[in-house]
Structure 1
Amino acid sequence: MSRRQKVVLVLLLGSQFMVAVDFSILNVALPVVGEGLGFPLARLQWIATSFALAAAGFTLLLGRIADLFGRKRLFIGGMALLGLSSALGGLATTPEVLLAARVLQGLATAAVTPAGLSLLTTAFREGPQRDRALGLNGALMSAGFTTGALLGGLLTDLLSWRWAFLINVPVAAAVVALAPALLTDSRIVCRHRLDVPGAVTVTGGLLALVYGLTRAGESGWGDPVALTALVAGAALLLAFRGVERRSAAPLVPVRIMRRRTVVWGNAAGLIAFATETSLVFLLTLYLQEVLGYSALATGLAFGVLGLGTVLGGMLGGRAVSRFGGRATILGGGAVQAAATASLVALGTSGGWIWLVLAAAFVGGVGNMLLIVAFMVTATSGLPDSEQGLATGLATMTQQVGITLGIPVMSAIVAARTGTGAGAAPEAVLSGVSVAFAVNSALVLAASLLAAHRLGGGNRARGRGRGQAGHSAE
């Protein structure tokens, strides 16, 4: 990499790290935030849900807007909005103002993530340099999720929950000040008008889908509101597909959705995010409800998972460059599945913590190998003019996967235990053991299927020869 590329890489990776920190920094502070602003307990989850709805619902649209009107412009605007909305959240005195700030933070994330990723993919040629950059991006984003949880607890205990918002302000200001001089946008070749019907149907569909999944996780899969939202989301996404087939300038061209790298790369990514985020939920249940760990001790235990994902991110780019996206998806999925399957053996004694730590570390490595391979595969073989769309699709996959995993695994645990709060440790262990087995089977099946469907179209680029994804059609 040239010196300028390294500086650009630091700036873009730093912004993605900040977004990842922002995603998780409030999780441990939610009860304190609720007390400070008078949030009713029933509405507390909306602090997280309002962010997730905006981040997932608008990411595909804003990724395509980055292609049409300029990635650099959208990236800088998104970072400015993130700084302003964080200031608003830190100074909020009512629940309504805080929720508005969280929605704006979600919109900013939906702009910054695909725009930043597309700036990253267009700054580095497809091949080993881009693989390494995306691997470092995955490592730092994973580190950001872990850092956010720890930093949120420290700031809340030592200062105030408001600093979980305010810490973003100087970082965002620095990025906005430096980005105009450091970033160069590729010439915009997409001069089409925005596909408004496609934008309305896909954004509405994603909003309904994420809301339905979140509601189902809170109220159960039989909840009428959750089912109505899920049906509405599915109907709108089907309508979006029909709109795109007839549109002269579609938001998502049909030819892109026919590419094996795009379809099966994103399918692998969806399962990777759904299984790993839900695994954290399952391990939280096990550590706190079976072994009796405190929230702080549980958070510290997950530091091992964070170390594993950082290592996986550092190795992921090299693995894709040497073995190809297909082999890395298969290998990473197999490692994650084996580590998760070992957790079925967990018992009720404290000595099993060593298996938890070992499996979390190894599974984290495998999961990040899978995620880096998904990102490289899903963005390979596409021109610079469509990188915003490709990274928007990948970001949407990430957000939906994060939202999907926990409700599904929660339903499995609930079905097995037959009760909610107050379940005996043995009943909770029985439920999470079944969920561990399902989780492992899902990631293994998805990895095998994605590798099979990718076939030879995403071959290894051994030692810099050729480029992945060229025969993905």
Structure 2
Amino acid sequence: MSTLDQAPPATTPHPSDSPATATTPTGRRQAARMTGRQKLVLALLLGSQFMVAVDFSILNVALPVVGAGLGFSLADLQWIATAFALTAAGFTLLFGRVADLFGRKRLFLGGMALLGLSSALGGLATSPGMLLVARVLQGLATAAVTPAGLSLLTTSFKEGPLRDRALGLNGALMSAGFTAGAILGGLLTDLLSWRWAFLINVPVAALVVILAPSAIPDSRPAGRSRLDVPGAVAVTGGLLTLVYGLTQAGETGWGDPATLAALVAGAALLAGFWFIEKRSADPLVPVQIMKRPTVVWGNAVGLIAFVTETSLVFLLTLYLQKVLGYSPLATGLAFGVLGLGTVIGGTFGGRAVGRMGNRATIVTGGVIQAVATVSLVALGTSGAWIWLLLAATFIGGVGNMFMIVGFMVTATSGLPDREQGLATGLATMTQQVGITMGIPIMSAIATARMTALDGSGPDAVLSGVSLAILVNSAVVLVGAVLAGAFLAPRRAEHAPVK
């Protein structure tokens, strides 16, 4: 039997890291509660993940101002976002495995230090090249911090209600971070300077680097395995070219030769990675783990959740600015309601998994998100429709977070601590590829519709957005139904967290 199919070895957690539970005279177990140390660990890890999420979107509103300030041409402006997305998605799986092999805490602290330094470099940039170097370094730091932080989170809280709650809060803050980034980017750019979109990271990163060494328990591997270099080269190259192709598809179209070449090369490298892993003595991703239904379906759900919600924000941005005439800052503020919905969904998502099980939570969240999304097809050209948008995005945000929490719990459950870096690396890669895939796919649908109508006015934009929203809703619903059909339920063995 493969070691991946065996139950994880029993471990005796440190008293300060164990959930406080008690048994009543009637024999009923009381709800587990976090210790003071666990709360501090959670605050530090969630703070770092929130900052990383903010970085994905904080420059979106400010891109034209950044370009004008540093002399970017209009055609090169996209590289400010692309340089970050490429490295963040391309190196995540590799760094997730490096965390397992060489120490999660060490990689996490190194990544946070690099994030602070690269943010300072970006804030002080005086040329396009200097800014792009900073964005690449920020992407590398994100690729290290996200899986290492998540694996520290899952190993600090044993499988059960406390981990479910921690992952729920993490998902809530990650999703809220994307929304907060858009709002914060607009505010900082309007009130101060776009440079503060970078510089705001520096004190936060410094605080985490100072406090984390003594607060976060070390997580070292029992033995040192060799790093699968051929597999690392194949998967990193495959993800880089795939994400590049997806990004270019949104700019130049799916039929562009460079886009097609990048997508084909990415698919070929990832296929080669699979065969390398089957023959490797120390694989980067053991093939057996990809045969686990929890890993396969958990990540499939996560991919759908991020593809649909991030692309929906893009579609509604088009609606608000091109149809209703909103400014970038007003658009960002309108998405504050979505951010509130994701925080609420993440807060209660862990409890939902504990009470209903992961499969029911995913299906429930998917149905809620699909129904809320399809209602947006009714949007019109009058400003009064903003109330439907606010209500639907709030409800849909709650449903989306139920799916994301269910995805994270499912994709990381049933695995020993030594493989949590790999599991969270896969989950993080799924998240970042989903974020990258969603916008070009839905943009292509909306653009095709507008082209068919031979117009770029409010009515044509609204028609294109409405068609893409309909497809978006259908994708969510199909994903939820398939997850309900093929994913085995997992129920918490402990009492719900209060």
TM range (shorter): over 0.9
1:8 maps onto 2:41 in alignment: yes
From 19, 27, 48, the counterpart of 2:52? 19
Partner of 1:269: 302
> Which amino acid in the other structure matches residue 79 of structure 1?
M
Partner of 1:468: none
> Which amino acid in the other structure matches residue 362 of structure 1?
I
From 359, 365, 386, the counterpart of 2:392? 359
> Which amino acid in the other structure matches residue 47 of structure 2?
G
> Residues 200-255 of structure 1, C-alpha deviation per residue, up to 9 Å, x if partnerless?
00000000000000000000011100000000000000000000000011000011
Superposed displacement of residue 460, structure 1:
2.5
From 458, 465, 489, the counterpart of 1:458? 489
Instruction: Tell me the distance in 2 between the aligned counterparts of 1:375 and 1:168.
Output: 26
Do the aligned partners of residues 370 and 168 (structure 1) sit closer, same or farther apart at CA in structure 2, a change above 3 Å counting?
Answer: same
Instruction: Tell me the distance in 1 between the aligned counterparts of 2:321 and 2:304.
Output: 26
- Aligned-residue Cα RMSD (Å) equals 1.3
Instruction: Tell me the distance in 1 between the aligned counterparts of 2:332 and 2:120.
Output: 27
8 Å contact from structure 1 (residues 21, 147) kept in 2: yes
Q: Which runs of 5+ in 2 are unaligned?
A: 1-33
8 Å contact from structure 2 (residues 186, 328) kept in 1: no
Alignment of 1:370-409 (within 5 A): 370-409=403-442
> Which amino acid in the other structure matches residue 458 of structure 1?
P
SS of the equivalent of 1:249 reads coil
- Which one is further off, 47-56 or 185-194? 185-194
Partner of 2:201: 168
Superposed displacement of residue 424, structure 1:
2.0
> Residues 363-413 of structure 1, C-alpha deviation per residue, up to 9 Å, x if partnerless?
000001100110010000000000000000000000000000111111111
Do the aligned partners of residues 361 and 70 (structure 1) sit closer, same or farther apart at CA in structure 2, a change above 3 Å counting?
Answer: same
> Which amino acid in the other structure matches residue 99 of structure 1?
L
Partner of 1:56: 89
Superposed displacement of residue 444, structure 1:
0.6
SS of the equivalent of 1:374 reads helix
Partner of 1:45: 78
Q: Which runs of 5+ in 1 are unaligned?
A: 466-473
Instruction: Tell me the distance in 2 between the aligned counterparts of 1:327 and 1:20.
Output: 27
Superposed displacement of residue 86, structure 1:
0.6
Partner of 1:193: 226
Superposed displacement of residue 296, structure 1:
2.0
> Which amino acid in the other structure matches residue 364 of structure 2?
G
Partner of 2:14: none
> Which amino acid in the other structure matches residue 42 of structure 2?
L
Q: Which has the higher helix share?
A: 1
1:445 maps onto 2:478 in alignment: yes
Do the aligned partners of residues 394 and 190 (structure 1) sit closer, same or farther apart at CA in structure 2, a change above 3 Å counting?
Answer: farther
Superposed displacement of residue 22, structure 1:
1.6
Partner of 1:412: 445
> Which amino acid in the other structure matches residue 478 of structure 2?
A
8 Å contact from structure 1 (residues 340, 436) kept in 2: yes
8 Å contact from structure 2 (residues 160, 493) kept in 1: no
Superposed displacement of residue 450, structure 1:
1.6
Alignment of 1:9-408 (within 5 A): 9-408=42-441
> Which amino acid in the other structure matches residue 127 of structure 1?
G
Instruction: Tell me the distance in 1 between the aligned counterparts of 2:433 and 2:465.
Output: 22
> Which amino acid in the other structure matches residue 460 of structure 1?
R
8 Å contact from structure 1 (residues 25, 149) kept in 2: yes
SS of the equivalent of 1:464 reads coil
Instruction: Tell me the distance in 2 between the aligned counterparts of 1:48 and 1:203.
Output: 19
Superposed displacement of residue 422, structure 1:
6.0
Superposed displacement of residue 190, structure 1:
4.5
Instruction: Tell me the distance in 2 between the aligned counterparts of 1:146 and 1:284.
Output: 12
8 Å contact from structure 2 (residues 187, 329) kept in 1: no
> Residues 316-366 of structure 1, C-alpha deviation per residue, up to 9 Å, x if partnerless?
000011111111110000000000111112222222111111110000000
Instruction: Tell me the distance in 2 between the aligned counterparts of 1:69 and 1:299.
Output: 40
Superposed displacement of residue 143, structure 1:
2.0
> Which amino acid in the other structure matches residue 444 of structure 2?
A
Instruction: Tell me the distance in 2 between the aligned counterparts of 1:192 and 1:132.
Output: 32
- Which one is further off, 425-434 or 304-313? 425-434
Moved over 4 A (4+): 419-422
Instruction: Tell me the distance in 1 between the aligned counterparts of 2:102 and 2:493.
Output: 36
> Residues 424-460 of structure 1, C-alpha deviation per residue, up to 9 Å, x if partnerless?
2111111111111110000110111122111xx3332
Instruction: Tell me the distance in 2 between the aligned counterparts of 1:192 and 1:137.
Output: 30
Instruction: Tell me the distance in 2 between the aligned counterparts of 1:162 and 1:289.
Output: 27
Partner of 1:424: 457
Instruction: Tell me the distance in 2 between the aligned counterparts of 1:247 and 1:150.
Output: 46
Superposed displacement of residue 419, structure 1:
6.6
TM-score with structure 1 setting the length: 0.96
Partner of 2:17: none
Instruction: Tell me the distance in 2 between the aligned counterparts of 1:131 and 1:420.
Output: 47
8 Å contact from structure 1 (residues 55, 107) kept in 2: yes
- Which one is further off, 94-103 or 133-142? 133-142
Instruction: Tell me the distance in 2 between the aligned counterparts of 1:49 and 1:308.
Output: 28
Instruction: Tell me the distance in 2 between the aligned counterparts of 1:423 and 1:123.
Output: 52
Instruction: Tell me the distance in 2 between the aligned counterparts of 1:151 and 1:415.
Output: 32
SS of the equivalent of 1:41 reads coil
- Which one is further off, 190-199 or 342-351? 342-351
Count of aligned residue pairs for this structure pair: 463
Instruction: Tell me the distance in 2 between the aligned counterparts of 1:288 and 1:23.
Output: 21
> Which amino acid in the other structure matches residue 308 of structure 2?
T
SS of the equivalent of 2:335 reads helix
Instruction: Tell me the distance in 2 between the aligned counterparts of 1:174 and 1:305.
Output: 29
> Residues 250-298 of structure 1, C-alpha deviation per residue, up to 9 Å, x if partnerless?
0000110000000000000001000000101111111122222222221
> Residues 153-191 of structure 1, C-alpha deviation per residue, up to 9 Å, x if partnerless?
121122211111111111111111111111112341352
